[in-house]
Amino acid sequence: MVGGVCGLIGVYIVLRGMSYIGHGMSHAVFGGAVASYILSFNMYIGAALWGFISAAIINEINRRNKIKADAAIGVVTTAGFAIGILLISTTRSFTRDFESLLFGNILGITDQDLLVISLVSILTILFVFFYHKKLIFILFDKETSKVYGVKGDLIELIFSLVLATVVIASMNAIGVTLLAAAIVAPAISARMLTNNFLKMVMISTAIGITTSFLGMYASFYFDSASGATIVLYGAAAFGISSLYAFMRRIYHTHSHGDQKHAHPHIHEQEHQHPHQND
């Protein structure tokens, strides 16, 4: 479920050119989770508050200034992570408890975690379902979407908040240091396999579910860290899909005439722009 929902939202993140945000957001909420643990507060509420504030700050910096999103994410979220590390280092007795948060431990998932993951999955699916048209308009052409009445800034903020909840829900299972790959890997693998947006969303979700499932079983049998195993399966999925895309291109080049075979690059260009002379 975690893998699926990461794969689902990953498509929009990759196409928004903000692949780094999953990485950043997971680090930021780590600070919130640690702080709330130390203050004997519910970890989810603490992490959520922290995550929402980070998401809002990143969004605002990105919108108002000419700073690129990755730079904004880098500063805001690493600072959040640093606060978490600082808190751990000052209260050393807790250090061991945060290992699962950092690297993921699917076997340590509680009923409460499962409930949160289920709720977040439903929320994300509903959000993507009802906002899909607006999201692709904003991702493709934000200025014109504003002209036609799409409230782009508000939707981007909601999107960041949904991402924050996905990150928080996935934190225990995959671990904050590895979560970015769980979000991005299925999406870029799907991008290699299709040019169709809806298909990409479906393939990415399916890859997310499959890699988490396989990763979880492998980590159980080999007694390895679940987050790391899932992420390695994700990376393998990307490798396989890249290889598939490469082979398909080679096959496509070979299946045409000799002259074109001798000039594969020229042919590829022709293939992509068959109506260049229009």
Partner 1 sequence: MKTSNDICLKLQDITYGYSYHSSVLDGINLTVPKGRMLGLLGPSGAGKSTLLKIIVGLYKPWHGSIEFNNHSMCHASSSKEQRHNSLFQSTFRRHNDIPSIGYVPQIESVDWTFPVTVKEVVAMGIWDQSGATPWLAKNTSDEIDHILDSLGLDGSLYMKRQIRELSGGEQQRVFLARALIRNPHILLLDEPTSGVDYNTRERILGILTELNTRGMTIIIATHDITGLARRLPWVVCLNKNIVSEGSPADTLTEINLLKTYGLIDNTSITSTTATKEG
Residues that bind partner 1 (CB under 8 A): 15, 129-130, 132-134, 136-137, 139-141, 143-150, 191, 194-198, 200, 272-278
By beta-carbon proximity to partner 1, the closer residue of 96 and 275 is: 275
Q: How far apart are alpha carbons 216 and 225 in whole angstroms?
A: 9
Minimum distance from residue 39 beta carbon to partner 1 (Å): 38
Locate 221 and state its tokens: 């049998």
Return the H-helix or E-strand segment holding 111: helix 111-140
Q: 211-217, long-range: CB within 8 Å, 24+ apart, which pairs?
A: 211/3, 211/182, 211/185, 211/186, 211/236, 211/237, 212/1, 212/2, 212/3, 212/4, 212/173, 212/182, 213/3, 215/3, 216/106
Minimum distance from residue 201 beta carbon to partner 1 (Å): 9
Q: How far apart are alpha carbons 59 and 81 in whole angstroms?
A: 18
Minimum distance from residue 54 beta carbon to partner 1 (Å): 24
By beta-carbon proximity to partner 1, the closer residue of 39 and 147 is: 147
Q: How far apart are alpha carbons 88 and 114 in whole angstroms?
A: 26
Minimum distance from residue 242 beta carbon to partner 1 (Å): 16
Minimum distance from residue 52 beta carbon to partner 1 (Å): 22
By beta-carbon proximity to partner 1, the closer residue of 132 and 260 is: 132
Q: Which residues of 240-278 are buried (b: 16+ CB within 10 A; e: fewer)?
A: ebeeeeeeeeeeebeeeeeebeeeeeebeeeeeeeeeee
Locate 137 and state its tokens: 């308009």
By beta-carbon proximity to partner 1, the closer residue of 203 and 232 is: 203
Phi-psi region of 40 (alpha: psi -120 to 50; beta: other; left: phi over 0): left
By beta-carbon proximity to partner 1, the closer residue of 78 and 253 is: 253
Minimum distance from residue 225 beta carbon to partner 1 (Å): 34
Instruction: Give the single-character DSSP code of 13.
Output: H
Q: Which residues of 131-142 are buried (b: 16+ CB within 10 A; e: fewer)?
A: beebbebbbeee
By beta-carbon proximity to partner 1, the closer residue of 27 and 134 is: 134
By beta-carbon proximity to partner 1, the closer residue of 263 and 271 is: 271
Minimum distance from residue 253 beta carbon to partner 1 (Å): 17
Return the H-helix or E-strand segment holding 171: helix 152-174
Minimum distance from residue 71 beta carbon to partner 1 (Å): 20
By beta-carbon proximity to partner 1, the closer residue of 11 and 232 is: 11
